[in-house]
Amino acid sequence: MKLKHIVISGNIGVGKTTLAEKLAKKYNWKILLEEVDNNPYLDDFYKSMKNWSFHLQIFFLNSRFKQIQNISKTNSTIIQDRSIYEDYEVFTKNLFDSGILLKREFENYKRLYNTILEYVKVPDLLIYIRNKNINNIVNNIKKRNRKFEKNINTEYLKNLNNYYENWIKHYANKNLLIIDVTNKDFIKNSKDLKNIYNIIETKINELT
């Protein structure tokens, strides 16, 4: 069996996009990145989460679903930057529990999300990139120097890490692969990168 839909998941600044690009190049996969550069809400969201959280989450939900639809129409192997599950299980839940997203907005989002899930297949492989060191994540965010990310709060990132761990703990699927990069630097260290390749190849062989 050929793996068609691979997802790479993890917190902001954990290295998802960089690793996805390296994997796509190495294995000749096509890549679908998260809509960041052309996102009309991200800048406003980080300036005022309360005013723009619902708009942003709806935008990402729609964008992610559209990507999944496109994946279903191709025979190529696609690696997708972040899963549709994270939109709800991590980001939207965190915004609601933090009091940023109103209950009526959360319930509205949840209904739409559950409706969409009826048309979504579980990815063939979900790779979760874990980094328990928030300082590493903060440094990664600083290095890429995106203007709108300068307002990201460290506590917000810590909360997201906690929601990720809770989501992954309940992700009952054999297609899950967890890669811990807390003490690794696959960007600067070729041995760390090679080790990640080996881990992924072993999992793919197991699944196929």
- Could you write out the DSSP letters of every residue in 118-152? TT-PPPSEEEEEE---HHHHHHHHHHHT-GGGGG-
Q: Are 181 and 14 in contact (CB under 8 A)?
A: yes
Q: Which of 13, 17, 10 is nearest to 140 (CA)?
A: 13
Alpha-carbon distance 111 to 147, whole Å?
33
The residues that are catalytic are 81
* Helices H / strands E in the chain, number of each: 9, 5
CA distances from 76 to 71, 83, 108, 153 (A): 8, 18, 34, 38
Q: Which of 74, 105, 55, 92 is nearest to 6 (CA)?
A: 74
